[in-house]
Structure 1
Amino acid sequence: MKMRHIITGILLATAAMPMAAVARTVAVEERSIDQLQASMTAGTASSVDLVRAYLARIAAMDRKGPTLRSVIALNPDALAQAKALDAERRAGRVRGPLHGVPVLIKDNVETADAMPTTAGSLALKDNMTRRDAPVVAQLRAAGAVILGKTNLSEWANIRSTRSMSGWSA
């Protein structure tokens, strides 16, 4: 768990260094995928710019400010993924509308990245699956950047039909 916090801290600190310039030029709040894609096509933004802008937004809203804690883990390879996708774009290969767009995955969906899949439970805090769920594989094939994992209620709020609690009767 400590290593995860260290990696997250390094990623946030690295992303925040050039943030003043990025935040002025790349607005990501309330932007659609089409708008983000248009910015990348026009050359006014890159996938790396978008990843840095979203990391700054997560740092401001999730870690500081209102401390939402809605993002449970950040992908330490997100910037590298974005750089590779930017190189593909420069070479004339755009996979589709998700090419270079950062996305967050719910924490009960497996990813091959260096992030645990916990389903919101401390019991799985070290559960490193090292494989992609089919939906994540499809997102990667479409060019999406896996930015991180979002929090959820423990076990995705699953309810058993055989519970003694009374509410499942």
Structure 2
Amino acid sequence: MERKRMKFLVDGMLGKLAKWLRLMGYDAKYSIFPDKTLIIEAAKENRILLTSDIALYREAVARGIEAYLVKGKNEAERIAELAEKFNLKIEVNVESSRCPLCGSLLRKVEKMLVKGKVPNQTFNFYNDFWVCINQNCRKIYWQGSHWKKINEVLLQAKKLTVNAKKGK
């Protein structure tokens, strides 16, 4: 299934994972609703339910919902695990990324449109900015100092998938 068509529903225990999937360009809805509501939502929206709750996983599978029990202990392990299971690309391309907060698409904007909406130092140092298209969110993003940490986690996840393929 290609990136634009794959849709996930991430339970309340895996909120950070939802943000990572969004950064990587995947449609990942995050929900803290009760288990029965999550199962109904996954079925209604044709989403793959991601959970670390074995009882929720078993209930979803018993009801015919595509679900996956996430076992990784940190974000790199979880990303690697999902990449293996669902053939996900472990990369962030800001042109296809989604807003980590709300999951909406991002759009590149002219630098002058963010003047006064980001810190002056940020405005002066960076040239490329993206804004969430959701009118209720409108969060502005740039490839700042946090970008190094993002790339480190993704590199670690890539290494884990390579090691898994080598049988390590």
Category of TM-score, reference length = shorter chain? under 0.3
Q: Flag the structure with more relative contact order, 1 or 2, with Cα contacts below 8 A and sequence separation at least 6.
A: 1
TM-score normalised to structure 2 length: 0.28
Decide which structure has greater strand share. Answer: 2
TM-score normalised to structure 1 length: 0.28
